[in-house]
Every structure is written in structure tokens, then in C-alpha cells.
Amino acid sequence: MPGLYVHFPFCASKCSYCDFYARVRRDWNPYVEALLQEIRDRAATLSVPPTTLYFGGGTPSLLPPALLARVADAICDAFCVTLPSCPASTGHLITEFTVEVNPDDVRPALADALRAMGVNRVSMGVQSFHDAQLRWMRRRHTAAQAEAACATLRRAGFDNLSLDLIFGFVGLSDADWLVSVDRALALQPEHISCYQMMGRWADGEEERCRRQYVLLQERLSAAGFEQYEISNYARPGFASRHNSAYWSREPYLGFGAGAHSFDGDRRRSWNTPDIDAYVGKRPGGSETLSDREVLEEKLMLGLRTVRGLSLASLSDAERAALKKTTLEELSRAGKLVVSDNYIRIPKEELFVSDWIISQVFPGNSEPGRSSR
């Protein structure tokens, strides 16, 4: 089912690892007015009511709650939907409404306002529970503030919290990594996302990153979390519905500077990643995927998930384009499992998923290499 994404490209400071478009500024009102207009203009492009809503960034929690509420109200009016935790109406129900927050922004007033707005899932960027590492990343919060923010959100009534962590960066020891994982688990979140910091590996670094990934898998599994995608783990029933729709190639609309949209078939479009241009004339672009690009996208997204890609979801022509010999070779090497009409990457090989997925692409002529 369709999802809606709203991008708030504002940050109080720029983190050292971030590649997302965001600006350090506070003149939010012109941007919010442009958002409201785009929501009204594009509401008719969805033929089926949306089921998820996601406020991401950037840092949505920087904005005054009243402005966030204006955007949420505009979504309700334009798409005839009702948000979770809000009074019942005749509108179609949004089942999952997520807002991203930074720990140092979370105060009782913000938590209560988000709850009153209808938010029923909060995703918090913790990244580490070591203050020295947080300073190196140029994060604005401390480990203690992250723990306090979780307590504040719980008191406000939130029962679906997701925490982000980062591993694999230079200087992160296995012991320090497990301390962050264990402190996150102590907060009893329903969901944990863990991302490897991007960058070129020095000698020996790839093996260290892989080891930390395996330690993460083992620790979270022992704590009752289920891995459902390369970077995402959830307690039973708490997998992100919004993000899962991306990997299933469901349609979605993205609003705001730099936001992307997809029609569920082969047309992708995007807004300019420039705030001033977006507020002015809202330029953007689009592309129509070729048959080969559609297949490669299905493989890339489907094989990110632990369940894998259903072969039944492919057309006869798409199945014929897959090289049977490559699938067999990867299967014999333990890099791929083909069973029950699904192809999937075993959990123990997900760390090298990029390389495995590239080998499955039609026309790839380099099977047998083992680097990521």
C-alpha cells in the first residue's frame, strides 16, 4: 500500500558521516508553506489511500511542533486520512506515523505534542553511547541525553521506539561496539537500525567491520530481535511498515526538497535538493526505468531483505534473464539460497550483500570474486 514521506532538510549542525541533503538554518515558515502547497497539488496522484506516513530529515524535531502539526493536518485533509491516536473520523487510517528525532530535542512538551499529533512511532538517531565518539561525529547529544529521551518518550505513551546505531568507523573496538549495543538493548526499544559508516577500508578494516556486524547479529538475536533487512532488526510485529514498502517497490510520494517518489512500476521522480529553489518554483526531475533497470531494482531491493525475492513476483521474461549458472554457483558457494520459490542471501553473508547482488544482475560476467 502507498506511503507518504515528508522531508525536513534542516539540522542544527552537520554530522561528520552524513551524506543526506540538509541545511543549517531556522527560517522554517517559507519551507512549510511550500510543503503545504505541494501536498495540495499532488494529492490526486495517488489512486489508493496511503497507509504510512514518515517525517524524516534532516531533523524534523528541530521544528516547532505547531508547524509539524500543520503539515500533518494538511496530509489528513488532502488524502482524506486519519492519523493514529487521533479522534476517529471517516477517513482512511494511517497505520504507522513515524517522526525522526534527535535525543537533545526530546523534551516532555515535544513528546506530548507528537503524541497528540497522532505519531505512533519515533525513530531516534543515537549512533553511539560513547560521548567521545559522539563528539567526533559532531553529534549534539550525549549518551545520557539519549537515555533520558527514551524515558521521556515512554512517559508520553510511545510504545514503538526505534534507535539508530553506527558501527565500523575508524577506532571503534569490538568491546566499545558491544557496549553501545547493550546500552541500546537496556532501553528496551522495539526496533534497532544499525548502519556501517561509509568510507574506504584500510588494511584489516573490512574484517573488523564484518566481525562487528556478526557480533551485532548475535547480540540482537539473543535479545529476541528478528533481523528482517540488512540493517534493520525488530521485535516480533514491529518491523517498519513504511521502509518495508520501499523494499517491496510499493508506490510512495515524497514531499519536500530532495524528496523522491515512485509509482510502484517504473517511474521515479524527485524534487530539487535545493531549499531556495524548492520554495520558489519547486523544480525536479523524473525517469522511466527500462526493463533491465526494473529487474535490477527488484533484485537489489528484494535481496536486501532476509526473506528475499519471490521468483513468482518476476515476469517470465525477468526470470529468463537471470543466469541459472550464476545462481547455482552462488548457491554452491553458500552465498545464496534458492528454495520455496524465493532467492535470498543467508544471514551470515548479508555483510557482503552488495557483491552478491551485483553478481545476480543480468549480464554480469564476474562470478567467483569474493570482495564486497
Q: Is the pLDDT of residue 370 over 70?
A: no
DSSP 113-174: HHHHHT--EEEEEEE-S-HHHHHHTT-S--HHHHHHHHHHHHHTT---EEEEEEE--TT--H
Pull the grid cell for residue 198: 561509509
The mean per-residue pLDDT over the stretch 212-222 comes to 97
With beta carbons less than 8 A apart as the criterion, state whether 251 and 46 touch. yes
Q: What is the pLDDT of residue 201?
A: 53
Pull the grid cell for residue 80: 482524506
Strands, sheet with 284-288, edge to edge from the N-terminal-most edge strand: 226-229, 232-234, 191-196, 161-167, 121-127, 96-101, 52-57, 3-8, 252-255, 260-262, 267-271, 284-288
Alpha carbon distances (Å) from 302 to 235, 307, 308, 342: 21, 8, 5, 10
The mean per-residue pLDDT over the stretch 51-68 comes to 96
| Distance in angstroms (rounded) separating the CA atoms of residues 230 and 131 | 27
Q: Is the pLDDT of residue 371 over 60?
A: no
For the chain, how many residues are written? 372
What digits encode the pLDDT tens for the residues 165-214?
999 888 899 999 999 999 999 999 999 999 998 655 555 688 899 999 99
Q: Is the pLDDT of residue 91 over 90?
A: no
| Distance in angstroms (rounded) separating the CA atoms of residues 344 and 356 | 10
| Distance in angstroms (rounded) separating the CA atoms of residues 205 and 201 | 5
| Distance in angstroms (rounded) separating the CA atoms of residues 252 and 241 | 12
Structural element, H or E, at residue 229: strand 226-229
- 154's CB contacts (< 8 A; 6+ apart) are 161
Q: What is the pLDDT of residue 368?
A: 41
Q: Is the pLDDT of residue 113 over 70?
A: yes
The mean per-residue pLDDT over the stretch 35-43 comes to 97
Q: What is the pLDDT of residue 18?
A: 60
Q: What is the pLDDT of residue 369?
A: 37
**Cis peptide leading into 199, omega within 30 of 0?**
no
Domain spans, the chain: 3-247, 290-372
Q: What is the pLDDT of residue 273?
A: 93
| Distance in angstroms (rounded) separating the CA atoms of residues 124 and 101 | 5
The mean per-residue pLDDT over the stretch 100-116 comes to 97
Q: Is the pLDDT of residue 246 over 60?
A: yes
Strand partners, 81: 92
Alpha helices in 198-352 (DSSP H): 205-222, 241-247, 275-280, 291-302, 316-321, 324-332
User: Is 268 in a helix, a strand, or coil?
Assistant: strand
In the CATH hierarchy, which fold is given to the domain comprising 290-372? Answer: Arc Repressor Mutant, subunit A (1.10.10)
> 125 vs 17, which has greater pLDDT?
125
Q: Is the pLDDT of residue 11 over 90?
A: no
Q: What is the pLDDT of residue 367?
A: 41
With beta carbons less than 8 A apart as the criterion, state whether 232 and 195 touch. no
The mean per-residue pLDDT over the stretch 19-27 comes to 61
Q: What is the pLDDT of residue 14?
A: 60
> 201 vs 358, which has greater pLDDT?
358
Cα atoms in the 13 Å half-sphere on the side-chain side of 251: 14
The chain-wide mean pLDDT, for the chain, equals 91
CATH homologous superfamily of domain 3-247?
tm_1862 like domain (3.80.30.20)
Phi and psi based region of residue 127 (left: phi greater than 0; alpha: psi -120 to 50; beta: remaining): left
**Rounded (10°) angle between helices 108-117 and 65-79:** 10
What percent of the chain lies above the pLDDT cut of 90?
A: 81
Q: What is the pLDDT of residue 310?
A: 95
Pull the grid cell for residue 244: 518495508
pTM: 0.93
Q: What is the pLDDT of residue 364?
A: 64
The mean per-residue pLDDT over the stretch 55-68 comes to 95
Report residue 115 CA to chain centroid gap: 21
Q: What is the pLDDT of residue 17?
A: 59
What digits encode the pLDDT tens for the residues 68-84?
999 999 999 999 999 98
> 324 vs 110, which has greater pLDDT?
110
For 32, other C-beta atoms within 10 Å of its C-beta total 20
